[in-house]
Amino acid sequence: MAGHSLTVLRGGGAALLDLLLPPACAVCGEARTPQERELICGTCWARALALPHPRCDRCGHPRDPQRHGAICDWCTLLPPYVRAVRSAHAIPGGTTERIVYALKYQGWHAAARPMARRMAQLSFPRDVEEERAALVPVPLARDRERARGFNQSALLARALAAEWKVPVRTDVLARTRATSTQTRLTPGERQRNVSGAFRAIAGRTELHGRHFVLVDDVVTTAATLNACATALYDGGARILSYVTFGRAPALGDRW
C-alpha cells in the first residue's frame, strides 16, 4: 500500500512539474503541449520535408518529371541484388537534419522511436513486406561506437522492428575497419572509402536465401549501404533492401 501511494505521489509530482515546466522539444527547444507525447514537437515534424514526387518505384528517389521513361540515375548506384530503397524525409532542409543531429550527437535516444514510426509508414513493394526476414543496422566502427556510446542505426532498427514485428540482427554483419566520415567526400571517394569495410559474420546457412533490410539514419549515394549489402550477398543472402530516415540529394539533383 505504501509503495502504491509513493507511486501515485511521484506520478502526481511529475504531472505538476510538466504543468509548471512543460517538457521542451529536443529539436527546437520550445515547450511541448500536454498532448504532444513525443520527444519532438508537432511543429518540428511539420517542418520536416518530405521527398518530392514523383519517385522511382524501386529506389524511392525523386525523379525529374520531365524525363518520363528515362532510366533512374539513382538506381544505377545500386547493385542488382538490391530490391528496394525507401527514406522518410529529405535532408538537408526543414528540420530533418536537426532531428538526426539530436539523435546522433545530443544523446536524445528516445528520438529514435518517433523517427522509426515515420519510417514504418513507408510503402515498400509487396514482396519486400512479405519476405523481409530481419532488420540489419549498419555497424559503426568500434572506436566511434565506444566514443558515442551507441549506434544510432541500431536504435532506429530496434524501434522499427517493434513497428514492423520483425527481428533485428546485429550478429550477421561487422565492420572490419574504421572509415573516414563520408560527409565531405565525392561519390567516387565515398565508394573507395567503404569498399571492403564490412563482412558477413554469420554462417551461410543463416544467410542463405534470406531477404534482409539494412537500416541507416541517412543515405546520400548509398555507398555505405551498398558495401554492407555486398558483404551480406557474398555471405549468402539472396536479396537486400534499404530503409533510412533521411535522404540527401545526389549530384545533379535539383531538389
Mean pLDDT, rounded, for 125-139: 97
Domain with 184 in it: what CATH number? 3.40.50
pLDDT of residue 179: 66
**Three-state SS at 75:** helix
Residue 180 in this model has a pLDDT that exceeds 70: no
How many structural domains are present in the chain?
1
Side chain identity, residue 229 = A
pLDDT of residue 65: 77
Query: Does any domain span residue 75?
Result: yes
pLDDT of residue 191: 63
Query: Does any domain span residue 199?
Result: yes
Query: Does any domain span residue 124?
Result: yes
Query: Does any domain span residue 177?
Result: yes
Query: Does any domain span residue 160?
Result: yes
pLDDT of residue 190: 64
Q: Residues 207, 233: contact at Cβ < 8 Å?
A: no
Burial tier of 181 (Cβ tally within 10 Å: 0-12, 13-18, 19+) = exposed
Q: Residues 223, 187: contact at Cβ < 8 Å?
A: yes
Q: Any idea what the Cα angle at residue 101 is, between residues 96 and 255, rounded to 5°? A: 30
Query: Does any domain span residue 135?
Result: yes
Mean pLDDT, rounded, for 81-107: 95
pLDDT of residue 144: 81
With cut-offs at 50, 70 and 90, classify the pLDDT of residue 253: confident
The dihedral through the CA atoms of 149, 104, 179, 169 has a sign that is positive
Give the whole-number percent of the chain exceeding pLDDT 90. 67
With cut-offs at 50, 70 and 90, classify the pLDDT of residue 185: low
What's this model's pTM, rounded to 2 decimal places? 0.87
Query: Does any domain span residue 12?
Result: no
Mean pLDDT, rounded, for 5-31: 62
pLDDT of residue 178: 64
With cut-offs at 50, 70 and 90, classify the pLDDT of residue 21: low
pLDDT of residue 77: 94
Mean pLDDT, rounded, for 244-252: 91
Mean pLDDT, rounded, for 228-238: 97
Phi/psi-derived region of residue 115, left when phi > 0, alpha when psi is between -120 and 50, beta in every other case: alpha
Structural domain for 229, as ranges? 53-247
Query: Does any domain span residue 181?
Result: yes
With cut-offs at 50, 70 and 90, classify the pLDDT of residue 7: very low
161-171 confidence digits (pLDDT tens): 999 999 999 99
